[in-house]
Structure 1
Amino acid sequence: MVRSSGAPVFYEHAYVSAYEQAPLTDVDSFAYFVVRQGDRPVAVAPAYLQSAADPLRRLHGAYPEARDQPALLSHAWHCYDAHVPATVSVLPRLLDAMIRTASIFGARWCGFVNVQRGSALSKELRANGLPARHLTDRWAADLTAAQSYDHYLARLSQRARANLRRTERRSNEAGVTTEVLPVEHAALDEITLLCTKTAIRFDNNGFYPASTFTRFVRALGDLAHVIEVRQHGRLVAVGICLTDATRFHTWTCGVDYAVDGNYSPYGVLFAESIKLAISLRKPVLEGGRSNAAFKRRHGLSPRPLDAVLIRT
């Protein structure tokens, strides 16, 4: 169902299973909805009951009336592109099932977070009379015409292109190496520490809890590619990237800016992510949320993300 509908990697069985084995936020209960016509499934959707439902401190800015109240949300906050994988229109039936399930769980709210404005789900929610409230933006780039990294650089402004070239030259001079690894060969304990420190620096403490992050990433298996950036053996940047049929997701990263040499470890990581996405022939680069200034400057465009909550 997920693949036939073109839904992103966050709905793949391995991702949803990993999130149940090692939830990255406090989840009180899990719910998995399947809509059927006869014996044939025509839609699926995961949802998560959360008492602390706003780890990024975005939801309660949009819905202050839902503060400190449990909510049944689809999808998890570590998914930044909500869908309802379906082959037919089933939203009214799904909403009814979500509302009933939220009531059983004792949740005052249910609904969807990180819905791209203008997407099929967004249009269906609006058609059912449900208004959306803006949360944040995610960033993406069309790689369809980018036959190589040089082709991608040619699309950027002269300043952005020069910055990436300068970072590449200086990092080479400083002894920086990069490697793409499957999760089973990556230094996950070291990676977890760097991702956790980076999240804390951006005031997202607890978004990648060390107690479960390693287990979660390991459980992703072949969905994940790990880009390690090292200087003289020390990890200075890492990206955990996910892939589906059409998208390359720079899902999360960690960066240590205390490096020898005048270069940007994040710039190195970004360049390696572009190169890997192009080599894997993925037509869309998904850049995730935050760091808007860098992403806009380097060829990504915003996708507004909304929340649609229903009081039960």
Structure 2
Amino acid sequence: MRAYERFPLTGVEAFFYFVVREHGRAVAVLPVSLLRGVDPIGHLRPRYPVSAGDRGLLSHVWHCYDAWLPGAPHTAAVTSAVIGEMRALAAELGADWYGFINVPHTSPLRDALIAEGFPAEHIEYRFTVDLRGMTSADDYIAGARPRGRANLRRNGRRALEAGVTIRVMDTGEGDLMEVAELCAATTARHGTGAFYPPGLFADFVGALGDRACLVEVREDAKLVGVAVCLRDQTRFHAWACGVDYDTRANYSPYPILYTESVAQALREGRLVLEGGRSNHAFKLKHGLSPLPLDACLLHV
């Protein structure tokens, strides 16, 4: 959160932090942001009548795909308290919308928001791999669908034959502008290149320190694939990826990035690989499980 405040990747006007206390003791917290252009990647427009210039007071930020109330022991009561404060602050700031984005569909938070009068509209899926019981990336490959399993093995073999190098490194060891430009170019293929503005993105990743690492795939000196990965206590997040498909040999760097991300997660003893949002066909075929995400928004 400190890194995102210094280098916000979207049009954030202000950050706020709610703290819910019970007899003076903090029992829940919630980061929120006031955003110019409430829908930077187009997830809301098919479900809500938002316009390009709308401002919204939203849970956390769009680059976080996991909305929840950290520490909440009684979700319904805590959610009610937070919603009242969010509504009041949104009105004070002149926002058009307020609420939560990227809420897991099966979560108690979603149920509590619905009880508070919010709609819950499906906006996207995020994808995960349960690493419990796995000892190596071979276990992950074995769990993919047959065509996905064959694709992972084929791409790994062809990359090896082409002399490709795969390296996991600290963010301080990488060329972060090169990484950022490849991530932005990749998302631009899908119309959301502005989601990773290269200069800000490089600074943000650099500010994460050891909470992040890079997985790089190179042909000689050329960067053909990169994953910016985040860590928490139990999960390893393949958070942002960039891929150059103009490779010398007949292989794709993308499945190689996922295989190596799983391998690194296992080396670090994480229980879950978070594979981010979108790219459904690839992720379903290659052993990732979908988790539907909702947006719960109301007009101010």
Q: Give yes or no for contact 2:156–2:256 (8 Å, CA) kept in 1.
A: yes
d(CA) in 2 for partners of 1:267, 1:67 = 35
**Alignment partner of 1:151 out of 139, 148, 153:** 139
Q: Give yes or no for contact 1:66–1:109 (8 Å, CA) kept in 2.
A: no
Extract unaligned runs of 5+ from structure 2.
none
Report the Cα offset of residue 303 of structure 1. Answer: 0.8
Instruction: Please tell me whether residue 100 in structure 1 is matched to residue 88 in structure 2.
Output: yes
1:228-274 CA distance string (max 9 Å, x none): 11001110000001111111111001000101001111121111111
d(CA) in 2 for partners of 1:43, 1:184 = 33
Q: Give yes or no for contact 1:139–1:287 (8 Å, CA) kept in 2.
A: yes
Instruction: Please tell me whether residue 244 in structure 1 is matched to residue 235 in structure 2.
Output: no
Residue in structure 1 matched with residue 73 of structure 2 by the alignment: 88
d(CA) in 2 for partners of 1:66, 1:228 = 38
Secondary structure at the counterpart of residue 206 of structure 1: helix
Instruction: Please tell me whether residue 210 in structure 1 is matched to residue 198 in structure 2.
Output: yes
1:75-131 CA distance string (max 9 Å, x none): 201011111112322111100110111011111210000001011211221233322
Q: Give yes or no for contact 2:237–2:273 (8 Å, CA) kept in 1.
A: yes
- Of 65-74 and 159-168, deviating more is 65-74
Q: Give yes or no for contact 1:195–1:208 (8 Å, CA) kept in 2.
A: yes
Q: Output the amino acid matched with 1:295.
A: K
Q: Give yes or no for contact 2:18–2:31 (8 Å, CA) kept in 1.
A: yes
Instruction: Please tell me whether residue 162 in structure 1 is matched to residue 162 in structure 2.
Output: no
Residue in structure 2 matched with residue 268 of structure 1 by the alignment: 256
Q: Give yes or no for contact 1:18–1:220 (8 Å, CA) kept in 2.
A: yes
Q: Output the amino acid matched with 2:40.
A: P
Secondary structure at the counterpart of residue 46 of structure 2: helix
Extract unaligned runs of 5+ from structure 1.
1-15
Secondary structure at the counterpart of residue 274 of structure 2: strand
Identity rate of aligned residues, in percent?
Answer: 47
Q: How does 1:1-312 map to 2 (within 5 A)?
A: 16-65=1-50, 68-89=53-74, 90-312=78-300
Q: Give yes or no for contact 2:137–2:260 (8 Å, CA) kept in 1.
A: no
- Of 143-152 and 222-231, deviating more is 143-152
1:111-161 CA distance string (max 9 Å, x none): 000001011211221233322011111111211121211222222233222
Report the Cα offset of residue 184 of structure 1. Answer: 1.0
Secondary structure at the counterpart of residue 208 of structure 2: helix
Q: Output the amino acid matched with 1:61.
A: P
Normalised TM-score (structure 2): 0.95
d(CA) in 2 for partners of 1:214, 1:159 = 35
Secondary structure at the counterpart of residue 170 of structure 1: helix
Normalised TM-score (structure 1): 0.92
d(CA) in 2 for partners of 1:159, 1:178 = 23
Report the Cα offset of residue 66 of structure 1. Answer: 6.0
Q: Output the amino acid matched with 2:224.
A: V
Aligned residue pairs total 297
Secondary structure at the counterpart of residue 59 of structure 1: coil
Secondary structure at the counterpart of residue 86 of structure 1: coil
